Amino acid sequence: MRRTFGQSLSLYGGVLVIALAIGLPFWWVLTGSIKLPKEIIQRVPTMVPHSFTLQHFEKLLQASDFPIYLFNSMVVALFSTAFTVLLALPAAYAFFRMEFPGRNALYKTILLAYAFPGVVVLIPLYGLFAKVGLIDSPVALVIVNVAFALPFSIWMMRSFLATVPREIEEAAIVDGAPTTTILVRILMPLIAPGIASVAIFAFISSWTEFLFASVLIVSDVRRTIPVGFAGIIGQYQIDWGLLLAGATAAIIPVVALFALVGRWFVAGLTDGAVK
Amino acid sequence: MAGLSLQSVKKRFGETEVIGGVDLDVADGEFVVFVGPSGCGKSTLLRMIAGLERTSDGRILIGGRDVTDEDPAKRGIAMVFQTYALYPHMTVATNMGFPLEMTRRPKEEIDRKVAEAAKILHLEAYLGRKPRELSGGQRQRVAIGRAIVRQPGVFLFDEPLSNLDAELRVQMRIEIARLHQELGTTMIYVTHDQIEAMTLAGRIVVLRAGRIEQVGAPLELYEDPDNSFVAGFIGSPRMNFVPATVTAVEDGRAVVAAPEAGLTGMAVTTRGQPPKLGTSVSLGIRPEHFVPAKGAAGTLSGKISLVERLGGVTYGHVLLASGSMITVESREADRFEIGKTEIFGLQRAYLFGADGIRL
Amino acid sequence: MKNTTLAFAFVSPALLFLLAVLGWPLVQAAILSFQDVGVIGSEGHFIGLGNYATILGDAGFWRALGRSVVWVLSNALVQTLLALAAALILNQKFPGVRIARTWIILTWIVPTVVVVIIWRWLLSPSGGMINPLLIQAGVIERPVGFFATREGAMTTLIMINSWRWFPFTTLMMLAGLTRIPGDLYEAARIDGAGTFQRFKRITWPLLQPTLMVLGVVGTLLSFNVFDVIWLLTAGGPSGATQTLPVLIYETAFKGYRLSEAATISVLTSILLMGFAFLTTRAMTAAEADR
């Protein structure tokens, strides 16, 4: 169908507004991170950098603990992702296909947990972790991240499983494949994009988590990016160049991950919402 | 190779009974087709035989062994699904070898059996391909191949041709018939298409609302239906039914008439004693059983309201004075003239009681 | 049956995990709310409903609750409008639409702390981009501090949080939009319905189920937002942006009144669960009507 000129104008106008609203702030951060300090705080800001320097990144890598934060964040996020997928996949399959008493009630309860306020369990969890000596340990962060990513992951995984035609599973049953074989040999390869989506979701949840990381981690060398970074902001004299370089460095890993598998993630999010 | 026996098999979903006590014996090597309108329970019955649906009541025996509570894989059956249900991420060879792999057969045996099946089905050239690289007919053959390699006692087909276009459907129908001749294995085949049923079956099982209406060879059902449902379901276009009254009994035959429908005395041989005078009956006439009025046993008159010319045959849709429509078949393309009132002779007819049972 | 055993084997790791990390602490929070624990780790005594009396009688709690309600409603309004507009645009066909659909979620995948840095910088009176832009556009005369006034701080926070979350909402709405069959629009076109008519008579009614789900989930999610507020204003100026999560955090970790914080947590949970329960029931009823 052809659009009228007015329709085209409003469509592309809208696209432009969205692109600018989302992209421009990031553009300014990215370009700001390579501007000389005096250009950063210039009264009339520049759209395209007039100067170029890597001094902020040098400072970030050498003078701050940022590389350690980056490493910590990476470790916590990777472990959280692995455990989330490992727990979510069988649970999602059971909720999707298998029959057991209390199935629907349990599923609804788990979904409710998705929207559960983290701050509510923060206090007692702190007590529990203190008792078992997990305060200031990345293990505590992994546990918390998995718990908060799990409900949504199960939901998302389940909707991916629902895209596999029932008859394929039935064919495998007739062919003599046990349930675990069906899951591993048939379903897992078929919902690989779904597993990737869940993994991205878990990774991003962990990567951006602030509240628990700020309370459960005490020593500076164990901090993750969100908390460690917040510490840098709080310093007396704000060094914008350093912060922008740090922001750029914190954006790059998730953007790289997203560039690889983001399409699946978005598809998973939208397909999942349909069910 | 095995026979199959269903003994008062029932299936309930909650309160609703979808299969209400089915008894059926299938001999070893037989080709049996389950046919019926959608929702009659034919697919459910097949899935119960496969073990994909639990049987609520009754027993299922395959090769003399009670498999009612057995896992599908241990029943000695293989199934071909309507959507083929091929594993999309596996090659044709892996798809076909999968059931053998599940029973942990040695690799040489798997390769050999897959090769044999591929040869029977002319799939040798496609063994390395993924299902999405195949045409519909080829996918269907792979699905059949996956069933063959298991060397099952019974093949189950669940509407296997309904996703194919008309031309391929005819071709695959012939191929399945050939396969049955070659393998000689028992086959149970579900379809809603009565032409598939007539051409493939050794015996047809007509189902309605979860019960068997009639079991018999294709021509038996056509020539000698037990009730108006089977009579209407088998044969295309479907049989015409004209309400009538018994006006006389001559030589043990019932003479029926329906003046308001333009039907004059037609004598019909009944299965048992002819019904009493004045009994309301339903006269069934197949579209192909109309003849010229002159010298015919009975006649029916009406106005031609619509003509369908298919080339080989022509169908005239005739409006009776009673307001009902009947279909008349003719071999002559210009046999019917729209708007003309005509008298048609009846060659053969069936009588059904008010409850639909053949008289 | 052995299938049930297997099903439980599949479900129970996830289930037990959630029970231990979310369920049990919730019980602990409830127990804590009946005690008088101050600093974390100290012993407490049972004091009955004392904390509840304190909290419910505290004007600070009610003010925080009020701010949370304002926060949730404003976020819902702003995000729904932005997301609906964006979803309608992304539901069209144009070159690059797939890229746009993927990358619109960029604001949601970066750490909150990055969002905070971006906006603190852009909004800063010295060197930020927004002030000069607004001056050029003639909206303001001299640089303003966006977080300086009570209303300003709340409004700015709502805008920033909406900027972070509306892409997520957009994708959910897009899912609802793609579920509407294209035939309907073509049929409506043939029937002579214009763009606005098609939106009003087809899109809007058929999008209702999606909007209702988003309403519930979005409410719960935005209620829980803590880090953006904490990092940008820490609840200030003078408590103007102190929502319930911020109040809980401050009471526990700045005020060292752990039991009172637990009490607020319990009250919050009851509130949210009640909301979720009532809305999901209303939704099921609405679905049954259809």
The pLDDT tens digits for B230-255 are 999 998 889 999 999 998 888 888 89
C98 three-class SS: helix
Binary contact (C102, A262; C-beta < 8 A): yes
Q: Three-class SS of residue C128?
A: coil
Residue for token digits 């996918």? B139
Helix (H, G, I), strand (E, B) or coil at B179: helix
**Interface membership of A165 toward B (CB under 8 Å):** yes
Q: Is-contact A222 A138, C-beta < 8 A?
A: yes
Element (H, E) at B319: strand B314-320
Residue B276 pLDDT: 86
Cβ–Cβ contacts within 10 Å for residue C59, how many? 7
pLDDT > 70 in chain B, percent: 100
pLDDT at A273: 47
Long-range contacts of B19-24 (CB under 8 A, 24+ apart): B19/B44, B19/B45, B19/B48, B19/B210, B20/B209, B20/B210, B20/B211, B21/B57, B21/B58, B21/B211, B22/B58, B22/B210, B22/B211, B22/B212, B23/B212, B24/B205, B24/B212, B24/B215
Sign of torsion over alpha carbons B196, B200, B203, B205? negative
pTM (2 decimals)?
0.82
CB B37 within 8 A of CB B211: no
CA dist A217 and A212 (Å) reads 8
| β-strand partners of B25 | B5
Q: Judge whether A38 is closer than 8 Å to chain C, CB to CB.
A: no
Q: Residue A95 and residue C41: Cβ atoms within 8 Å?
A: no
Alpha helices, DSSP H, located in A63-117: 66-97, 103-114
Report CB contact under 8 Å: B73, A173.
Answer: yes
Q: What residues of chain A lie within 8 A of the CB of C21, using their CB?
A: 121, 125, 143-144, 146-147
Tell me whether residue B151 is exposed, middle or buried, using C-beta atoms within 10 angstroms of its C-beta: 0 to 12, 13 to 18, 19 or more. Answer: middle
pLDDT of residue A274: 43
Report, as an integer, the average pLDDT of C201-217: 82
Neighbours of chain A (3+ CB pairs under 8 A): B, C
Which among B79, B83, B103 has the least Cβ separation from residue A174? B79
- Asked if B277 and B334 count as a contact pair (C-beta separation under 8 A), the reply is no
B208: which DSSP letter? E
CB B152 within 8 A of CB B76: yes
* First vs last C-alpha separation in chain C: 38
CA distance B245 to B259: 9
Average pLDDT over residues C42-60: 77
Q: Does A268 touch chain C (CB under 8 A)?
A: no
The residue among A97, A163, A164, A174 with the most chain B CBs within 10 A of its CB, best to mutate, is A174
Q: Do A26 and C106 touch (CB under 8 A)?
A: yes
φ/ψ of residue B154, rounded to 5: -135, 130
- Mark yes or no for CB contact B81/A171 under 8 Å: yes
Quote the crossing angle between the two packed helices A138-161 and A103-114, to the nearest 10°: 130
pLDDT given for residue B113 in this prediction: 92
Say if residues A88 and C14 touch (Cβ distance below 8 Å). Answer: yes
Q: Give the span between the Cα atoms of C100 and C105, in whole angstroms.
A: 9
Taking only the tens place, the pLDDT of each residue in C82-103 is 998 898 888 888 888 888 888 8
Task: Tell if the CB–CB gap between B50 and A165 is shorter than 8 Å.
Answer: no
Look at B79 and A170 and tell me if their CB atoms are within 8 Å: yes
The pLDDT tens digits for C231-242 are 888 877 888 888
**Mutate which: A4, A76, A122, A205, vs C, most C CBs within 10 A:** A122
The C-alpha angle with vertex A65 and arms to A59 and A66, in degrees rounded to 5, equals 75
- How high is the pLDDT of residue B32? 95
**Considering only CB atoms, which chain C residues are within 8 Å of A204?**
108-109
Per-position pLDDT tens, chain A of length 275: 567 787 788 888 888 888 888 888 888 888 888 777 777 776 666 777 777 777 778 777 777 788 888 888 889 999 999 999 999 999 989 888 888 888 888 887 887 777 677 787 888 888 888 888 888 888 989 999 999 889 888 888 888 888 888 899 999 999 888 888 998 899 998 888 888 888 888 988 898 888 888 888 888 888 888 888 887 776 656 777 888 888 888 888 888 888 887 777 777 776 654 44
pLDDT for res C99: 83
- List CB contacts (< 8 A) between A269 and chain C: 168, 171-172, 175
Helix (H) or strand (E) holding B203: strand B203-208
CATH of C58-256 given 1.10.3720.10, 3.40.50.11740, 1.10.10.10, 3.40.50.970: 1.10.3720.10
Furthest-apart CA pair in chain B: how many Å? Answer: 76
Verify whether the Cβ–Cβ distance B50 to A174 is below 8 Å.
yes
> Which tokens hold the place of A134?
């997990």
What is residue A233's three-state secondary structure? Answer: helix
- Please report the pLDDT score of residue C211 as a whole number: 82
Does the distance separating the beta carbons of B50 and A175 come in below 8 Å? no
User: What is the structure's pLDDT at A10?
Assistant: 83
* A and B in touch (3+ CB pairs within 8 angstroms): yes
